[in-house]
A and B are shown apart, each in its own frame.
Chain A
Amino acid sequence: MKVTVNHLARVEGDGGIVVEIEGDKVKNVEVTIFEGPRLIESLAVGKSPEENASFTPRICAICSVSHKNASIRASERALSYPEPEKTYLTRELMHTGEIIESNSLHVFALALPDFLGYPSVVAMVDKYEDVVLKALELKKFGNKIMKLLNGKFIHGENATAGGFGKYPEEQELLEIKEEAEGLLPFMLSAADIVGGLEIPDYLEEETVFVCCNPADNKFGFWGDELIFSDGSVIPSSDYKEYILEKTVPYSFAKRSLYKNKPFTVGALARLICIGDRLTGKASEYYKKYRNDRWTKNPFYNNLAQAIELIYALEKIPGLVEKTIELEDPLRQLPGRTEGRGVGTVEAPRGLLVHDYNYKDGLCTDANIITPTAMNLDDIERYIGLAARNLNKQGKDPDYMAFEFEKIARAYDPCISCATHLVKVIKK
């Protein structure tokens, strides 16, 4: 028996799933990516930090600000740019905007229809109009932040190596603060809706999680260290020693292993590794819903994304207050013309690595690893586990195909990101 999902729906990009089952054995599970390879890393060679900040985010629209921040961090570390506090805070606010936009799109528009039995978010309008409209408002708010700080919803150019072309006006920032405060009550009630969903139990197994380790023991979306759920903490620049990349013939997306095993990145990984650092309502909700199934069941990713939305809305007022106190800094210049820099950030769907070498101010070598590429092996593992259990329960192929698609979707896969990838593929 072959269970096939030809084309994954409600995910970003083009991919499919094939599961082969013989009797009570699951013979093969393949998540196929059929987007063509764009060779972005090879195109980064010969470019300046500004050019890389401009074109590498085109890897992916929905993670474009994360790619922008990862690219900037890598270039600034390679060439020793100073980072004034206002620049840092403005970047953090911009990143928070992307988390809000992307998490709300995924939780409400892409994943929630699965749990409530609808083909799309638009089809949910009749019965859940209030939730749908408010969720779209939240998504729009994330976009508004990105447009204000980066110039466009998608692929703005205001943020670059050395800072910003223009910093926002105080009044514009105060509007953002007010809107964040206004949306928080909705998000608290919406998180309870997501927290109340029944989570399927046909795929439970422990895995390893990893995310950035933000400085000063805080929760956040970047850092120069990585933290694993097994307790290890490593400098980001050593990532190659811990995360091994490989290719598979049926997909243009590369895969990654940690200690020879698949691992998971994303909102769930962040809450598992550093969720105990949350404060305020986000912490309250984390404690209310955290249970021992979280480390075994990828469906909890949707709830983790909802709790991060609370964190993001609570974070904004403080960021705005600090930012408006500070003078706009001038564009910063590099302190040297050669060096290596690794920029690790948390894209909405997980750890993102940009690693550049520069000589005479131009890039000589680039390596980028995206979150979906890291998640693919675990997505296949959990689909395989689900296939064994659902097959035992005698479920038919159509039923299974729908469940497999739901599992893939729970990871919020971003296929544009996954397709491109790294080098050094020794077979």
Chain B
Amino acid sequence: MKDKPSLGVYSFTGCAGCQLAILDCEDQLVDIFSAANVRVFYEAMSNNDDDAKVDIALVEGSINTDEQQEELKAVREKAKILIAFGSCAHHGCVQAMANGDGKWEERFKKVYGDAEFTVAKPMETRPLHEFVKVDGWIPGCPPGASQMLKALTQLINGSPPTYTNSAVCLECKFKENECLLNKHIMCLGPLTMGGCGAPCPSQNMPCVGCWGIIDEANHASELKKLMEYGFSKEEILRRFRLFGGSDIVDKVSELLEAK
């Protein structure tokens, strides 16, 4: 029998929900720990081996201090495969919603005043791929159980993880929900990575875009439609940015310039 692959779960800045999503697989938790040799998983266990080389590194959270940049590089060196685990790792999620506006220092002062810190040098939130090579992505805020378990199974068996790259609308249609956009509600389903099973529109709540943007997202078209429905351009772009992280910065600039 092949040796069990080794697995490390590493965490940077975020809500720690991606790790928690693993602990939320109550029925499979013992199986995951049996199928892989878990070397690092601070939220779950205390016998962690920080120096261990691992076959698979799941990295949650975004980078926003100088020390985290160094730690991330160290994880990269230890890992054969490094996976951006969840929205923060992939594009910065909510803490990156104002990236690129040039006002980070002003916001930092607003929250912390003139306090000085010895712990580390803080900086604007950045996703992992800006510092290291990332080999794959498990999307989600946080990743959903079915997609995550599939990706973990693929990784443990030596395959690259796959994910849904179609809009939330597809799954919403499968559920035969009435389209919220047709009811003139600001739903971001057409722009947003599916795989979540469309829980929000299934409860009459608009998609907020929390799993990130799909490759073929057409922001200009959605903007036009929503403006026809009477929403202001300012409000629409604000909603685009809420969960879009660093992925949305260039798109929003283009949309701002377009008339």
A interface residues, Cβ below 8 angstroms from B: 6-14, 32-43, 46-47, 51, 54-55, 58-62, 64, 105, 109, 113, 119-123, 125, 136-137, 139-140, 143, 151-158, 160, 164-166, 247, 249-252, 405, 415-416, 419-427
Contact B29 A122 (CB under 8 A): yes
- State which of A35, A154, A166 has its C-beta within 8 Å of the C-beta of B17: A154
By the criterion of a CB under 8 Å from any partner CB, how many residues of chain B are at the interface? 71
Query: Which residues from chain B contact A64 at a C-beta distance below 8 Å?
Result: 15, 17
| Chain-A contact segment, one of B109-117, B215-223, B246-254 | B109-117
Query: Which residues from chain A contact B37 at a C-beta distance below 8 Å?
Result: none
A422 and B110 CA atoms in complex are apart in Å by: 9
- State which of B95, B115, B120, B243 has its C-beta within 8 Å of the C-beta of A40: B95
A43 and B48 CA atoms in complex are apart in Å by: 35
Given the known interface contacts A39-B111, A155-B210, the answer about A55 and B118 at a Cβ–Cβ threshold of 8 Å is no
Given the known interface contacts A158-B200, A165-B204, the answer about A58 and B43 at a Cβ–Cβ threshold of 8 Å is no
Given the known interface contacts A113-B46, A154-B24, the answer about A37 and B16 at a Cβ–Cβ threshold of 8 Å is no
A169 and B94 CA atoms in complex are apart in Å by: 32
Contact B111 A42 (CB under 8 A): yes
Contact B115 A249 (CB under 8 A): yes
Most chain A CB atoms below 10 A, which of B18, B95, B118, B208: B95
Query: Which residues from chain A contact B213 at a C-beta distance below 8 Å?
Result: none
Contact A38 B112 (CB under 8 A): no
How far is the CB of B118 from the nearest CB of chain A, in Å? Answer: 5
A13 and B199 CA atoms in complex are apart in Å by: 27
A415 and B42 CA atoms in complex are apart in Å by: 12
| Chain-A contact segment, one of B63-71, B75-83, B127-135, B156-164 | B63-71
How far is the CB of A75 from the nearest CB of chain B, in Å? Answer: 16
A416 and B20 CA atoms in complex are apart in Å by: 12
Contact B48 A7 (CB under 8 A): yes
Interface positions of B from 1 to 47, Cβ below 8 Å from A? 11-18, 20-21, 23-24, 26-27, 29-30, 33, 42-47
Contacts A425-B114, A427-B115 supplied; 20 other A-B pairs, CB < 8 Å: A33-B119, A35-B12, A36-B65, A37-B111, A43-B94, A54-B242, A61-B15, A119-B45, A119-B47, A120-B44, A120-B47, A121-B44, A122-B29, A137-B26, A143-B24, A155-B15, A160-B205, A249-B115, A416-B15, A427-B113
Query: Which residues from chain B contact A13 at a C-beta distance below 8 Å?
Result: 11, 16
The answer to the question of B107 belonging to the interface, with a C-beta cut-off of 8 Å to chain A, is: yes
The answer to the question of B238 belonging to the interface, with a C-beta cut-off of 8 Å to chain A, is: yes
Query: Which residues from chain A contact B84 at a C-beta distance below 8 Å?
Result: none
- State which of A46, A55, A421, A422 has its C-beta within 8 Å of the C-beta of B94: A55
Contact B48 A37 (CB under 8 A): no
In the complex, what residue of chain A is closest to B125 when comparing beta carbons?
A38
- State which of A58, A415, A419 has its C-beta within 8 Å of the C-beta of B141: A58
Query: Which residues from chain A contact B195 at a C-beta distance below 8 Å?
Result: none
The answer to the question of B178 belonging to the interface, with a C-beta cut-off of 8 Å to chain A, is: no
The answer to the question of B97 belonging to the interface, with a C-beta cut-off of 8 Å to chain A, is: yes
Contact B24 A153 (CB under 8 A): yes
Given the known interface contacts A36-B12, A249-B115, A250-B119, the answer about A158 and B205 at a Cβ–Cβ threshold of 8 Å is yes
In the complex, what residue of chain B is closest to A37 when comparing beta carbons?
B122
Contact A61 B17 (CB under 8 A): yes
Query: Which residues from chain A contact B203 at a C-beta distance below 8 Å?
Result: 151, 157-158, 164-166
- State which of B29, B48, B142, B202 has its C-beta within 8 Å of the C-beta of A136: B29
Query: Which residues from chain B contact A54 at a C-beta distance below 8 Å?
Result: 208, 242
A-B residue pairs, 7 tightest by C-beta = A61-B17, A425-B113, A36-B64, A120-B45, A165-B205, A9-B46, A38-B95
Given the known interface contacts A125-B30, A136-B29, the answer about A62 and B243 at a Cβ–Cβ threshold of 8 Å is no
How far is the CB of B140 from the nearest CB of chain A, in Å? Answer: 9
Given the known interface contacts A60-B16, A151-B203, the answer about A157 and B208 at a Cβ–Cβ threshold of 8 Å is yes
A389 and B125 CA atoms in complex are apart in Å by: 42
Query: Which residues from chain A contact B46 at a C-beta distance below 8 Å?
Result: 9-10, 113, 119-120, 405
In the complex, what residue of chain A is closest to B43 when comparing beta carbons?
A12
- State which of A42, A123, A125, A151 has its C-beta within 8 Å of the C-beta of B199: A151
The answer to the question of B98 belonging to the interface, with a C-beta cut-off of 8 Å to chain A, is: yes
- State which of B26, B112, B115 has its C-beta within 8 Å of the C-beta of A140: B26
The answer to the question of B155 belonging to the interface, with a C-beta cut-off of 8 Å to chain A, is: no
Contact B42 A37 (CB under 8 A): no
How far is the CB of A148 from the nearest CB of chain B, in Å? Answer: 10
Query: Which residues from chain A contact B33 at a C-beta distance below 8 Å?
Result: 122
The answer to the question of B108 belonging to the interface, with a C-beta cut-off of 8 Å to chain A, is: yes
Contact A105 B113 (CB under 8 A): no
The answer to the question of B239 belonging to the interface, with a C-beta cut-off of 8 Å to chain A, is: yes
Contact A10 B45 (CB under 8 A): yes
Query: Which residues from chain A contact B118 at a C-beta distance below 8 Å?
Result: 249-250
Given the known interface contacts A10-B42, A34-B67, the answer about A41 and B114 at a Cβ–Cβ threshold of 8 Å is no
Query: Which residues from chain A contact B204 at a C-beta distance below 8 Å?
Result: 165-166
A-B contact pairs, 26 of them (CB 8 A): A6-B50, A8-B42, A9-B46, A10-B46, A12-B20, A14-B12, A14-B42, A33-B119, A35-B61, A36-B12, A43-B94, A43-B98, A51-B239, A58-B14, A58-B141, A109-B23, A119-B46, A119-B47, A122-B44, A152-B199, A154-B142, A155-B141, A155-B210, A165-B205, A252-B122, A424-B113
Contact B20 A154 (CB under 8 A): yes
Contact B199 A156 (CB under 8 A): yes
Query: Which residues from chain B contact A252 at a C-beta distance below 8 Å?
Result: 117, 119, 122
Query: Which residues from chain A contact B242 at a C-beta distance below 8 Å?
Result: 51, 54-55
The answer to the question of B93 belonging to the interface, with a C-beta cut-off of 8 Å to chain A, is: yes
Query: Which residues from chain A contact B111 at a C-beta distance below 8 Å?
Result: 37, 39, 41-42, 420-423
How far is the CB of A243 from the nearest CB of chain B, in Å? Answer: 17
A137 and B24 CA atoms in complex are apart in Å by: 11
In the complex, what residue of chain A is closest to B196 when comparing beta carbons?
A152
Query: Which residues from chain A contact B202 at a C-beta distance below 8 Å?
Result: 151, 166
Query: Which residues from chain B contact A164 at a C-beta distance below 8 Å?
Result: 203
In the complex, what residue of chain B is closest to A414 when comparing beta carbons?
B16
How far is the CB of A337 from the nearest CB of chain B, in Å? Answer: 15
